[in-house]
Chain A
Amino acid sequence: MKKDIILAGVGGQGILTIAAILGTAAIKRGWHLKQAEVHGMSQRGGDVQSHLRLSDQPIWSDLIPFGGADMILSVEPMESLRYLPYLSKEGWIIANRTPFTNISNYPNIEDIYAAITKHPKHVLIDADAISKEIKASRAMNIVMLGAAIGHIGFSEQEISDAIRETFSRKGETIVETNLRALQAGIQAQT
Chain B
Amino acid sequence: MEKLMLLGDEALAQGALDAGISGFYAYPGTPSTEIVEYVQRSRQAEAAGVHRKWSSNEKTAVESAIGMSYAGKRTMACMKHVGLNVAADPFMNSAFTGANGGLLITVADDPSMHSSQNEQDSRFYGKFAMIPVLEPSNQQECYDMAFWGFELSEKYHVPVLIRLTTRLSHSRSGVSRRNPLPQNQMKKPDDLFQFMLLPAIARKKYKHLISLQSAFQEEAMKSDFNSFNMQAPDTSLGIIATGLAFNYLMDVYQGQPVPHPVLKICQYPLPERAVRELYDKCDALLVLEEGMPLVEDMIKGLAFSGSKPIKGRLDGTIDRDGELNPNKVARALCLTDTYGEDVPAVVAARPPALCVGCPHADSYLALNEAVAEYGRGHVFSDIGCYTLGFMPPYNAINSCVDMGASITMAKGASDAGLFPAIAVIGDSTFAHSGMTGLMDCVYENSNVVIVILDNATTGMTGGQEYTAAGKLEDICQGIGVHPDHIRVFVPFKKNFDDMVRIYKEEIAYQGVSVIIPRRECVQTLKKKNKMETPA
Contacts and interface: CB of A to CB of B under 8 A. Distances in A.
Interface of A: 10-11, 23, 27, 32-47, 51, 57-63, 65-69, 78-79, 81-82, 84-89, 91, 102-103, 105-108, 111-112, 115, 170-171, 174
Interface of B: 3, 5, 7, 30-31, 33-34, 114-115, 167-168, 170-174, 244, 247-248, 250-252, 255, 325-327, 330, 337-344, 346-356, 385, 388, 460-462, 535
17 contacts: A23-B172, A36-B172, A40-B31, A40-B115, A45-B354, A58-B255, A59-B173, A61-B325, A61-B326, A67-B338, A87-B341, A102-B350, A103-B349, A105-B348, A106-B348, A108-B346, A115-B346
A63 B385 CA distance: 27
A33 B338 contact: no
Contacts of B330: 65
Nearest to A87: B340
A90 to B, nearest CB: 11
Nearest to B9: A39
Nearest to A62: B171
Contacts of B352: 11, 41-46
A34 to B, nearest CB: 5
A86 B173 contact: no
B340 A60 contact: no
Given A60-B248, A103-B353, 8 more contacts: A23-B172, A62-B247, A79-B350, A82-B347, A84-B341, A88-B338, A107-B347, A112-B346
B5 A33 contact: yes
Nearest to A36: B171
Contacts of B3: 27
A35 B171 CA distance: 5
Contacts of B346: 78, 81, 107-108, 111-112, 115
User: What 5 A-B pairs have minimum CB-CB distances, sorted nearest first?
Assistant: A67-B338, A40-B30, A40-B115, A46-B352, A61-B251
A60 B114 contact: no
B325 A65 contact: yes
A82 B385 CA distance: 24
A23 B245 CA distance: 24
Contacts of A111: 346
A23 B348 contact: no
A78 B348 contact: yes
Contacts of B347: 78, 81-82, 107, 112
A38 B114 contact: yes
A78 B347 CA distance: 6
Contact of A37 (B170, B244, B340, B356): B170
